[in-house]
Structures are given as structure tokens and as C-alpha cells.
Structure 1
Amino acid sequence: MTIERHQTATRMSKIVVHNNTAYLCGQVTEDRSAGITVQTQTMLKKVDDLLISVGSSAEKILSATIYIKDMALFAEMNAVWDSWIPAGHAPARACVQASMASPELLVEISVIAAID
């Protein structure tokens, strides 16, 4: 059994790969002062970059869990999500309202994806 850990620090790895499956740690925006649209866009760009780094892509996402600070932002976040996820490749997804690790954060995502 092989487990690969990528971009590992003391607390966590950004990606763990096992059995041709990539598990991404929670991803957030770089610009915590931005609104929900920009936070969602930049968060999903980080997901793209991490998936590409291990030979995967948005088309191969199996599951996504989205944590949102306030459900009043749900429609705005979904507008970005809907334009980002490739047509016909929507993963299993959950979205829950949650207290965030930092008060400026509005959205976070955790992803599991297949690898070729």
C-alpha cells in the first residue's frame, strides 16, 4: 500500500494520494478581504492547481464538501461553482454553514478526486 503526501507541513498535507485517489485538505482564498465571489473563484483556482499537480482535474472530482460562513451567500457562491464545474461532471457535493477558522473567511472546500 502506497500513500503519497504532497506539500506536507507539521499539521497537514495539502494533498494525500492513495489508490489513484487524491484527497485535498480544505482550500480557502488568498485574499481574505474579498467578497464571496472572489473568495470562491480564487479558492477553486487553488483546487485546480493542486489537482493538476497530481494528474487530476475538475472533471475527475468525486466529492466536494463546501463550508460557507453564511447561507445568505449560497446563491452567489453557487454562481461561481456552476460556471467552474465542467458540464456533465458535477461531483457528489455537500454544502454546510460553518464557523470558519478566521472571521474573514467566507468559504472553504475539501475535495476528493480520481487520478488517471
Structure 2
Amino acid sequence: MPMVPVIPAGTGKTLAPYSPGAMADGVVYVAGTLALDKEANVVHVGDAGKQTEFVLEQIKSVIETAGGTMADVTFNSIFITDWANYAAVNAVYAKYFPGDKPARFCIQCGLVKKEALVEIATIAHVGKQG
């Protein structure tokens, strides 16, 4: 089945040539998401918790645009710039996944925008297309 881009209404410009999400055969792949406004500027500079909330709201928007919910998320890849922010990220993350938790990993690394503290990429199974 061909890939269908998933672009929520009001999506701002991206930093590179990609779609916020892509769906194929009922699986939504959400691109690595940073806390960026519509002009690709980092928001909530210095606050990992607020950035995590912003990122998860963006991911939620992509999944809902594809016809799913956060309960359909099966896997998250989490990238943080400093382990000191791990607890803040997890505190917000737990609010978005209160029941059964999706599989995930978390690594410390550099991100494409120096003010960004967290990036999350997601996979969700929302059902068959068509």
C-alpha cells in the first residue's frame, strides 16, 4: 500500500524535506519532533518538561489527523540532550500514556537545534487504510 503523508492543519515549516507523519497499511510513523513553533523556532527554551509536553501535543495532532489516538502508539524513540532532564521528560510522558505503555528507548545526544532539549519519534497502529 502506498505511503500517505500526514500533515495536520496549521503545520508550520519543517527544518528539512519531510512530512510530520506518514501512513502506510494502517501504521503511522511520526517524524522526530522538536518543540518548534510555526517558524521553526524552539519554544520553552530551558524547560525540558514544557518542551516534552509541546512535542507530545504535536505528535498527538499527527496521530489524530491520521484517525488514531495516543492509545494507538506502540513505540517511541526519545532523544534528550542531558540525562539531568530525564525525570522531567518522564513526568510529562507518563501523563500522555497513563495505561499500557508503548515500547521505547531513550538516548542522550545532540539535537539539530541547540536550544532543543528533547526530540521524540513515534510509531502508531491506527488500523487498515481504505
Fold agreement, TM-score > 0.5: yes
Aligned to 2:31: 25
Gaps (5+ residues) in structure 1?
A: none
Q: CA RMSD in A?
A: 1.7
User: TM-score with structure 2 length normalisation?
Assistant: 0.82
Aligned to 1:100: 111
Kept after mapping to 1: 8 A contact 2:44/2:50: no
Kept after mapping to 2: 8 A contact 1:65/1:109: yes
Q: Deviations over 1:64-98 (max 9, x none)?
A: 0000010111011101111221312x111000001
Structure with greater strand share of residues? 1
Greater shift after overlay, 30-39 or 55-64?
30-39
Q: Work out which of the residue numbers 11, 22, 26 in structure 2 matches 1:16.
A: 22
Aligned length: 115
Q: Which runs of 4+ in 1 moved over 2 A?
A: 6-10
Kept after mapping to 2: 8 A contact 1:58/1:86: no
Aligned to 2:87: 75
